[in-house]
Amino acid sequence: MIAVASDRPGPLVIGGFVVVWAVFSGLTLINPAETALMAITPTVVFAVLFALVLLYISGERLLVCERGLVIGSTAPGMRPYVLRYDQIVPGSVAPVAGARRYGAETGTGGFPQSTVRRSAWTRQGVHLVGPSPKEARRHRAVLAPLQDPPPRSVDGRWVWFAGTGSTPPAQITAAIARAAGASGLEQLARATAAAPVRELTGRREDAAAHLPGAR
């Protein structure tokens, strides 16, 4: 493994969960149960439920490996997607800032998609054009295909986006360029190494310029 980026929620999101847990717990104490055990049970249950939710929404990763990328959730029971470097379109890999405007600029809104791994707190990430989610899934899935988008690139392929959390996206694309070069994919390596950071504007007409290969 060459580089890792984690798109975890920030302190404000975690603080929000704590506040909601405190409110829910406080409501159960307005009319407490007769025994101390029954009185604290709802508080413990809420804590466990909120902890599980945080665990799952904190599982998003972008792993740069020797032969390809691993994109998606690594939470228990979840399986991320695997994209080989030879499946990625040269010149399509780009570091992106202003990711909160991604939905507006691409016209996809806030609907969850298997190839677009971003959350409300995602500020930056990496864009690329590559294989279909079915090819990248590498396992049988029942519900995941329901979130598979149609091909949205100019050459009929799939647009991918992965948040990088606090890791600068240019740092990740530099790692991708090195790994692609070591794999013998010189065209992909050169184009990726030269890709500048794109700042999304939220304007639909800017999508093609900011997200190479997108339409």
In a domain, 93, yes or no: yes
Q: What is the predicted pLDDT for the residue at 176?
A: 98
In a domain, 145, yes or no: yes
- The 10s digit of each residue's pLDDT in 87-142 is 999 999 999 999 999 999 999 887 789 999 999 999 999 999 999 999 999 777 77
- The 10s digit of each residue's pLDDT in 41-57 is 888 888 999 999 999 99
Confidence of residue 38 (pLDDT cuts 50, 70, 90): confident
- Joined together, the tokens standing for residue 158 give 């799939």
Residues 6+ apart with CB under 8 A from 180: 85, 88, 188, 189, 192
Q: What is the predicted pLDDT for the residue at 15?
A: 93
In a domain, 2, yes or no: no
Name 72's bridge partners: 61
In a domain, 106, yes or no: yes
In a domain, 163, yes or no: yes
SS (H, E, C) 73-91: ECCCCCCCEEEEHHHCCCC
Q: What is the predicted pLDDT for the residue at 133?
A: 96
Distance CA(171)–CA(211), nearest Å, equals 18
| pLDDT beyond 70 at 33 | no
- The 10s digit of each residue's pLDDT in 145-201 is 889 999 999 999 999 999 999 999 999 999 999 999 999 999 999 999 999 999 999
Distance CA(151)–CA(214), nearest Å, equals 10
| Residue-range definition of the domain harbouring residue 140 | 60-210
Number of continuous H segments (helices) and E segments (strands) in the chain:
7, 9
Ranges 36-40, 71-75, 189-193: which has the least confidence: 36-40
In a domain, 23, yes or no: no
| pLDDT beyond 80 at 29 | no
In a domain, 95, yes or no: yes
Confidence of residue 40 (pLDDT cuts 50, 70, 90): confident
Instruction: Give the count of domains, the chain.
Output: 1
| pLDDT beyond 80 at 143 | no
Q: What is the predicted pLDDT for the residue at 34?
A: 66
In a domain, 118, yes or no: yes
